[in-house]
Amino acid sequence: MEESFDIETELVRLGFDDQYNSCNPPLYQTATFRQDSLSNMGAYDYTRSGNPTRTTLQNYLGRIMGAKATFAVSSGMSALDVIVRLLDPGDEVIAGDDLYGGTHRLLTFLKNKKQLIVNHYDTTDTELMKQKITKNTRMIFLESPTNPLIKVVDVRSITAYAHEINPNCIVVFDNTMMSPVLMSPLADLGVDIQYESATKYLNGHHDIMSGVLATNSEKLAQDLYFVINSTGCGLAPFDCWLLLRGLKTLALRIERQQENAIKIAQFLITVPGLKVRSVALPDHPQYELHKSMAKGPGAVLSFETGSVETSSKIIEACKIWSITVSFGCVNSLISLPCQMSHASIDPDTRAERDLPEDLVRLCVGIENVNDLIKDLAAALRVGGISVPAQ
């Protein structure tokens, strides 16, 4: 086997074969490939089925994610769509109650069409999960830390229990919040499929949509590929090329974003009246659990102000923090999830799941951290909050 290095090195090494030894991977911007003869199809025939630029990306992702098989598709949601197509009508699945809004929307769509039986539980409650997982549980969807509530799930225990009860239960983990730099649920925590929205940290520049899937099971890999090839959601060559370029700086970006986020969390807890949620803070109820699964807290945090009006004023008063959905980009973003990324969850369900309407989410970028704190402090004051002098 080829020697492997730390992820920080692998990200920059980007090994691939090229007839001219080009330092960057060639872009095969083509839908079709000519055959040598009728009987010799060659390695590629049609880009929906395969493209050399996509292969370079997938092999590279395999080394980064420590996975036997990886696939690049057109978005994080299409990665989830590929996964749910492995299920049969009437299958029972368990999902978290604080999942990404789009995940909730797709699962609810399938539930309403009576294609799946979907039950949402508080996945942070490991005992409850153990009561609910049965021999009939075909798939479990986990995310940790969740966003925007920053709740942490005991992935190891739940996965081990699910496999004990039903060895065929497929545990699916959405690793978008952490990225492979901070967490490897497939390699370290026993899950069956790891997927991520590459639109976020993996690409890091908000210039493409993409999703990636990884598994160590040959059977699952074959089934996933079958769906990707059948539906045509494989990532387009140019987007593969851009993702290859974005990925090279992943470790560096995360390091800086996380360092900034820790300082911002420490600043926010000095402001009276704010309720701050961050796994960077030792008083987070699952601080130790998160630490046992991940190398760091990442760069997304949230806080409550006590009123939607105050939160809105703060968000609109920011100059550097831009009001934008999503996260993982090099610049810092601020949002009101209940009116933005999580608006697809109806208000009753939001209330039931204790998703505070005034919750402000911060997705920290790579800017100068003092500028970010100054901008936030000024915005908090506009919102009527008294901020201690720094």
Ligand X SMILES: *Cc1c(COP(=O)(O)O)cnc(C)c1O
Name the one residue in this structure whose structure tokens are 């590629």: 44
Interface with ligand X, residue 26, by CB under 6 A: no
Closer CB to ligand X, 102 or 190, in the complex: 102
Residue 39: CB minimum distance to ligand X, A = 40
**Given the residues 44, 100, 195, 201, the one annotated as active site:** 100
Structure tokens at 46: 């049609």
Phi (first) and psi of residue 142, to 5 degrees = -125, 155
| Residue 200 near ligand X by CB under 6 A | yes
Closest CA relative to residue 156, chosen from 134, 179, 123, 181: 123
Active site residue 207: no
Beta bridge partners of 95: 120, 141
Closest approach of Cβ 175 to ligand X, in Å?
Answer: 8
Among 44, 60, 100, 173, binds ligand X (CB under 6 A): 100
Site for ligand X in 158-187 (CB under 6 A): 174, 176-177
Residue placing its CB nearer to ligand X in the complex, 103 or 137: 103
Taking the C-alpha atoms of residue 325 and residue 200, their distance in angstroms, rounded to an integer, is 11
Q: Which residue in the set 145, 148, 211, 365 belongs to the binding site for ligand X (CB under 6 A)? A: 211
Q: Which of 72, 77, 139, 385 binds ligand X (CB under 6 A)?
A: 77
Annotation marks residue 200 as catalytic: yes
Nearer Cβ to ligand X (79/387): 79
Please name the helix (run of DSSP H) or strand (run of DSSP E) that holds residue 116, with its range, or none.
strand 116-121
Q: Which of 47, 51, 199, 258 binds ligand X (CB under 6 A)?
A: 199
Number of alpha carbons in the 13 Å side-chain half-sphere of residue 12: 8
Catalytic residue, chosen from 81, 97, 154, 174, is 174
Q: H helices of the chain, where?
A: 7-13, 52-65, 76-84, 101-112, 126-132, 155-165, 179-182, 185-188, 218-231, 237-247, 250-268, 287-293, 308-317, 347-352, 369-382
Binding mask 117-156 for ligand X (x = CB under 6 A): --------------------------x-------------
Whichever of 197 and 311 has its CB closer to ligand X, that residue is: 197
Alpha-carbon distances of 23 from 12, 15, 16, 237, rounded to whole Å: 11, 9, 9, 18
Q: Is 313 a catalytic residue?
A: no
* CB 195 to ligand X: min, Å: 8
**Residue 142: strand pairing partners:** 173
Q: Which of 54, 63, 138, 200 is catalytic?
A: 200
Residue nearest to ligand X (CB): 76
Say how far apart CA 25 and CA 240 lie, in whole Å.
10
Q: With binding defined as CB under 6 A, does residue 76 bind ligand X?
A: yes
Is residue 245 among the annotated active site residues? no
Closest separation in Å from C-beta 231 to ligand X: 15
The answer to whether 177 touches 143, Cβ cutoff 8 Å, is: yes
Q: Which residues bind ligand X (CB under 6 A)?
A: 75-77, 100, 102-103, 143, 174, 176-177, 197, 199-200, 209, 211
User: What residues are annotated to the active site?
Assistant: 48, 100, 174, 200
